[in-house]
Amino acid sequence: MTGGDVFDEPIDPDLEPEAERHRPDVLIAIAFGGAIGALARYEVGLQWPARSGAFPTTTFLVNSSGALLIGLLMVLIVERWSSPRLARPFLCIGLLGAWTTMSTFVTEADLLVRNGSTLTALAYVVATIVTGLAATGIGIVCARRLARVAT
């Protein structure tokens, strides 16, 4: 039932094993996940737009939730679900990769500096990094607990 240890996998979770590389169904899974992730982020941004000069809460929560989910999902996919072929390309490369964003994060921080809100920018960068790493760690720990309870 259980697969290997997620920490034996390559460090970069966006790489597919040689046998799966560039297969049409893998590419479709990535495109499909990417479409959903980008659309969800767009809709969330419409609902809760960033206010000029304010802490960009929406992007912060989008990225932090994605960091939590990648910790959870990578462990579950590799260690619990024995890596169903398309789970990682769909969920991790496509969906979470597109849901989270580095470009919006850094551009928002740059614009805060440009508008004179340097402290808010600094708080935003530090909070995003610290929360992201903590969220991924918590995701990994929770997934392993979950896997043990369910076994």
Partner 1 sequence: MIALGVVVLGSLGALTRYFMDDAVSRRTKSRLPYGTQLVNVTGSFLLGFVTGLVLYHSGSADTRTLVGTGFCGALTTWSTLSWETVRLVEDGETSTAVVAMLGGVAVCLLAAALGLAVASL
Which residue ranges make up the site for partner 1 (CB under 8 A)? 7, 11-16, 21-22, 27, 30-35, 37-39, 41-43, 45, 63, 66-67, 69-71, 74, 89, 92-94, 96-107, 109-111, 114, 125, 128-129, 132-133, 135-137, 140
CB of 34 to partner 1, least distance (A): 2
CB of 25 to partner 1, least distance (A): 13
Rounded distance, CA 74 to CA 87, Å? 10
CB of 118 to partner 1, least distance (A): 12
Residue type at 122 in one-letter notation: L
Query: Which DSSP string corresponds to 49-87?
Result: PPPTTS--HHHHHHHHHHHHHHHHHHHIIIIIS---TTH
Closer to partner 1 by Cβ: residue 86 or 93: 93
CB of 82 to partner 1, least distance (A): 20
CA distances from 120 to 27, 34, 60, 123 (A): 39, 30, 13, 5
Give the angle 97-98-101 at the CA atoms, nearest 5°.
85
Closer to partner 1 by Cβ: residue 1 or 65: 65
Closer to partner 1 by Cβ: residue 40 or 146: 40
CB of 122 to partner 1, least distance (A): 11
Closer to partner 1 by Cβ: residue 1 or 102: 102
**HSE value, Cβ hemisphere, 13 Å, CA-based, for 27:** 4
